[in-house]
Amino acid sequence: MKEAIDHLVAESEDLDVMVKSDDGSSNPGLTKEEQSVLEAIRNKPGYALRTIHKQAAEQDDSPLGEYSGEWDDDRKKVQELVHRLETKGLVSNEARSWYPAEHPKVN
């Protein structure tokens, strides 16, 4: 019984770094910050970095700092996260606008 509980605890910790895509598949290895930014991009495809930052920061359980509207360390962090997601093939950029990889605008 203890082994089963330990296994469930280990699995739940792994789920903390996963995000479900619209089609139900998982993207393993995403941090909570990356998940937050990816969710913001999925909710508002085609928006610029400042809007993504605002959307991500306003999420109920967002790990990101408050949105100030300024180009500050928080915005630089969001920019870094967006580029990481792009490297992972989860988002794409077109003319300073960010889209989820599955969005028809980028396919």
> Could you report the per-residue pLDDT of 54-73, keeping only the tens digit for each?
999 999 989 988 899 999 99
Q: What are the CA-CA distances from residue 6 to residues 15, 16, 18, 28, 97 (Å)?
A: 14, 16, 19, 21, 44
Of 3-17, 46-60, 62-76, where does the model show the most confidence?
46-60
Is pLDDT of 101 > 70? yes
Torsion sign over Cα 88, 89, 94, 99: negative
Please give the average per-residue pLDDT across 91-101, as a whole number: 93
User: What DSSP designation does 59 have?
Assistant: S
41 vs 4, higher pLDDT: 41
Q: Can you give the pTM of this predicted structure?
A: 0.71
Q: What is the rounded average pLDDT of the residues 33-44?
A: 95
Task: Return all residues near 62 (Cβ < 8 A) that are at least 6 apart.
Answer: 36, 56
- In residues, how long is the chain? 107
d(CA 90, CA 34): 10
